[in-house]
Structure 1
Amino acid sequence: MRILDFLNKDAIELNLKSNNKKEVIEELVEVLNKKGLLLDKKAVLDSLFEREELGSTGIGQGIAIPHSKTKGVKELVGVLGISKKGVDFEALDGEPVNIFFLLLTSEGAAGLMLKALARVSNFLKNKFYRKKILEAASKEDIIQIIEDEEKLKQ
C-alpha cells in the first residue's frame, strides 16, 4: 500500500493553528471538507471523537494517527498536519505531538484501515523521515519525502 494513494498535496497542512486535541481534529477534517472529500462532515467528526474516547491515537514520538471508519467518506482518505509548537494529544508517552496523520475510511473497510494504519505508522516511526517531515518547507517537499521513502519500499 502506498501512502500517496490516499494522501495528496492538497491534504497537507504545514502550520496547524490548533491548541488542543479537539481543535486539531476539527482543523484536519476541515482541510478534507474544503477539498470536497467528505460526504458528511458531522458524521466524520462524531466518529473521530468517539474513537478518541476509546483511547488516544497519540502513539508517541511526537506522532498521532487519529482515524475512524465512517459513513462520512466513500473511500480511504488521509490528511497530514504539522504543528511546529506541538499539541497535547494525550499521547502514550506524554509528549506533545507535532505530526498528525488523520485517516478515514468507509464503515465496511476495516481491513483497508488496518493496512493504512500500519503503513503510516511504519513510515512515521522512522526517525529520519519524521525529522525530514518536520523540516519540510512546502507541501511539495513532503510529497517528495514520501515518494523517496516509497521508492525504497519497492
Structure 2
Amino acid sequence: MKISEIIKEDCVIANLSASDKPGILAELVEFLDKKGVVNDKQSLNNALLEREKLGSTGIGENVALPHAKMEGLESIVAVFARSIDGIDFDALDQKPVHYICLLLAPASSTGLHLKALAKIARLLKIESLREDILKAQDETEIYSLIVEEDAKFI
C-alpha cells in the first residue's frame, strides 16, 4: 500500500486555524464536507469525538491520527493537516500536535484501515520528515515530502 493510495494531493491542509481538539476535528470534517465526502457532518464529528473519549489518538511525537468508520464510503479517505503552532490533543507524550491525519474507513472495512493507520504512523515517526513538513511552504510541498519519504520504503 502506497501513501498516495491513502492521502490524495487535494486532501492536504497546510495550516489549520482551530486551536483545540474539538475545533480541529470540526475543521477537518468541514473540509471533507466541502469535498463532497461527508453525507452527515454531525454524525461524523460525533463519531470522531466518541473515538477520542476511548483514548486520545494523539500517538506522540507531535502526531495525531483521529479515525472513524463511516457508512456510505467505498474506500478509505484521509486528510493530512498541519498545525504550525501545535495544539493540545491530549497526546500520550503530552506534546502539542502539529501533524494530524484523519482517516475514515468504510463501515464494512475490517483490516484495511488498520494497515493504513500503521502506514501513516510509521511514516510520521521519521523525525526528519516531520521537521521538513513543519517548514514546508504549502500543501503541494507537504504532499511531495510525504510521497517521497514513502517511496523510500518500496
Q: TM-score, normalised by structure 2?
A: 0.94
In structure 2, the residue corresponding to 1:80 is in which secondary structure? strand
Please tell me the residue identity of whatever aligns with 2:133. I
Structure-2 separation of matches of 1:56 and 1:72: 25
Note if 1:45 corresponds to 2:30: no
Partner residue, 1:121: 121
Note if 1:61 corresponds to 2:61: yes
Structure-2 separation of matches of 1:61 and 1:25: 19
Structure-1 separation of matches of 2:90 and 2:3: 25
1:1-154 correspondence runs (5 A) = 1-71=1-71, 73-154=73-154
| Structure ranking higher in strand proportion | 2
Structure 2 unaligned residues grouped into runs of 5+: none
Q: TM-score, normalised by structure 1?
A: 0.94
Q: How much does 1:58 deviate? A: 0.4
CA contact (8 A) 2:12 2:143 kept: no
Please tell me the residue identity of whatever aligns with 2:13. E
Aligned positions, number: 154
Q: How much does 1:54 deviate? A: 0.2
Q: How much does 1:15 deviate? A: 1.2
CA contact (8 A) 2:56 2:91 kept: yes
Structure-2 separation of matches of 1:66 and 1:32: 14
Q: How much does 1:74 deviate? A: 3.1
| Structure ranking higher in helix proportion | 1
Q: How much does 1:72 deviate? A: 5.4
Q: How much does 1:149 deviate? A: 1.4
Structure-2 separation of matches of 1:88 and 1:146: 23
Please tell me the residue identity of whatever aligns with 2:11. A
Which deviates more, 136-145 or 70-79?
A: 70-79
Please tell me the residue identity of whatever aligns with 1:64. A
Structure-1 separation of matches of 2:75 and 2:46: 18
Structure-1 separation of matches of 2:61 and 2:81: 15
In structure 2, the residue corresponding to 1:49 is in which secondary structure? helix
Identity of aligned residues (%): 40
